[in-house]
Structure 1
Amino acid sequence: MQGETLRYRALRRAIVRISERVFSKTLNAPEIDVLVHREVVEVMPPHVEYCLTDLGVEAAERRRSLADWIEDSLPRVGGEWALRGVIGPDGSVRLPELTESLGLPGRVGRRSV
């Protein structure tokens, strides 16, 4: 979406793994305005166009940088987790060991791990 102006449907197609309801609710949330500029185009039929604000472009660049780092570092993280017993011999993640390794409390949300 960086540098592009998209209509609702085109933007919806570009974002996967989110329900229609959550997508629409998120786009209409007032706090999203600092990242996404929303413009109603008064033509027949009227439509809405979306583009990233300057702050949204910066956030997207940083998100991409973090995603690249995670992808590059995943083998090292997996190796460390294997050494700490977080990853079992079958490749499954052992939640109690993971939460302990990350320094998290033994309970997450309503479920005990």
Structure 2
Amino acid sequence: MSALRHHRRSGNSGRKMAAQIARQMATVIPDMDIALFVAKCLTCSKVKAEHQRPSGLLEQPEIPVWKWENIAMDFITKLPRTSSGHYSIWVIIDRLTKSAHFIPIREDYRVEKLARI
């Protein structure tokens, strides 16, 4: 098995390696031995294929200069209905001061009504 691991086409990728060993030595080695061999293989554990695009450089968001110049918003929905008929909360946060407003609303409010609030 170790000779197969160092073969130039083996690639040292865990599942690929196990499949290759299983194909070539199916009658000689039980499945558990192949899985154990690949799990303990130092080269297989160090060399992993990357399945994601490399991430870009981290960019800092621009720091606001004035209060309420840059805000973040979110909606908290599916809450129990209040006596006034509201069952959602509109959360508006100032990114500079971290102060927040929590406004009770209903989910059926249109954008125009939210803009007036």
TM over 0.5: no
TM-score by length of 1: 0.25
TM-score by length of 2: 0.25
Say which one has the larger Rg.
2
Determine which structure has the larger helix proportion and give its number.
1
The answer to which structure, 1 or 2, has the higher relative contact order (CA under 8 A, 6+ apart) is: 1
